[in-house]
Structure 1
Amino acid sequence: MIAIIDYGMGNLHSVSKAIERLGYEVITTDQPDQILSADAVILPGVGAFGDAMHNLNETGLGDVAKQYAASGKPMLGICLGMQLLFEQSEEYGLHQGLGLLQGKVVKFQGDFKIPHMGWNKLTFLQSSPLFSSLEEGHVYFVHSYHALVDNKQNLLATGDYYGPVTAIVANENVYGMQFHPEKSGELGMELLRNFLALSARSLPV
């Protein structure tokens, strides 16, 4: 079973449908027992970092997410969900994140269009089970803030938007994708498939 954490902010339906298309049983839930018993967990997110952390803290789901990460089972943050994995964000003030990855989230600075919205090519920086049998290609980004990763061993892939942009991160069993894999065509779906394969419990298609 794959669990999508429902804390009131996120593109839950499209992520759920993508997981179903890949042949996995999925549940969208705010129940700690369902989350902690899942074979893999996805933390989605659309909106502001501070609002998301408020919801996670008020519901206790932030602590549940950290408990799940400590279990060693695979966990994936998508878009804002990836940013929440970091220690802090400067979006509309300074806010503390889940602290599962070292680094901070900052706003794009420069004379170019913000938000970063559209298709950008990934550059794979190191080997990862996420990249098994895949070639670099384009994925779909929508964001005004980006993550600065302290430990470069945690940076698996970048995009390019007037310079390198953190695109995929990992810290042991905890992964993050700044783009939307469920909206990123074949490459996005294959990246999602490779993540879900870490749970090793798919249903027949």
Structure 2
Amino acid sequence: MTQPNVVVLDYGSGNLRSAVRAVERAGADVTLTGDFDTALNADGLLVPGVGAYAACMAGLRAIKGERIIGRRLAGGRPVLGICVGMQVLFERGVEHGVETEGCDEWPGVVERIQAPVVPHMGWNTVDVPAGSTLFDGIQDERFYFVHSYGVRDWTLETNDRTRAPLVTWSEHGGDRFVAAVENGPLTATQFHPEKSGDAGAALLRNWVDTLR
């Protein structure tokens, strides 16, 4: 069986090497690049991201990353966002009073988590909906988070016209936030699967298996 080819999008953000190695171990042939056509045509695209929302969006726009994501999804081609790479898929982010337009693939705002201790850093459980492909076999595992911001309100209404996205939640300090989304070709996790040990490795294998 040939390995699916995955591009890890290089736009100056994220711990790219660990993401590349993790996806390779999950059974994909991985290219690290910011090239428009290569990213557009790969079997799968992984969008990493660490740090500030505004800086990530600026880096993404510099390589027309938001257009790569949009065009892939329009053609039903899989995209996986990780950490800030998930957050930029939403409509906008607000950090330190600065509002930044995101890729707007989903409605919603990325905002500071309302917990006594921020950042939310370390291992946490997730609340997985029935029917998840991403979390198949690992629903009860813990995953590694490191973030101060998140999506605290899921606002997309499909009104049964299309299959409703599967939204996985987590909680920190009494505040709930989106931990993962499965929405047709568009998948994302707030946690870092590449830092989440065996559970994260299994999740990446589950994603790579959908590309075959």
TM-score w.r.t. structure 2 length? 0.89
Partner of 2:7: 3
Matched residue of 1:118: which SS? strand
Q: How does 1:11-160 map to 2 (within 5 A)?
A: 11-92=15-96, 93-110=98-115, 112-147=116-151, 148-151=153-156, 153-160=164-171
RMSD (Å), alpha carbons: 1.4
Amino acid at match of 1:94: E
2-structure distance, mates of 1:3, 1:139: 23
**How far off its partner does 1:174 sit?**
0.3
Matched residue of 1:135: which SS? coil
**How far off its partner does 1:180 sit?**
0.2
Partner of 1:190: 202
> 1:101–1:171: 8 Å Cα contact kept in structure 2?
no
Q: Does 1:179 align with 2:184?
A: no
2-structure distance, mates of 1:155, 1:128: 7
Deviation readout 1:28-59 (Å, 9 max, x if unpaired): 10111111110000000011111111122222
2-structure distance, mates of 1:149, 1:36: 28
Equivalent pairs counted in the alignment come to 199
Deviation readout 1:125-174 (Å, 9 max, x if unpaired): 23122122333210000000011321374352112212322101132210
2-structure distance, mates of 1:15, 1:60: 21
TM-score w.r.t. structure 1 length? 0.92
1-structure distance, mates of 2:171, 2:65: 33
> 2:179–2:189: 8 Å Cα contact kept in structure 1?
yes
Amino acid at match of 1:189: A
1-structure distance, mates of 2:18, 2:46: 13
Partner of 1:203: none
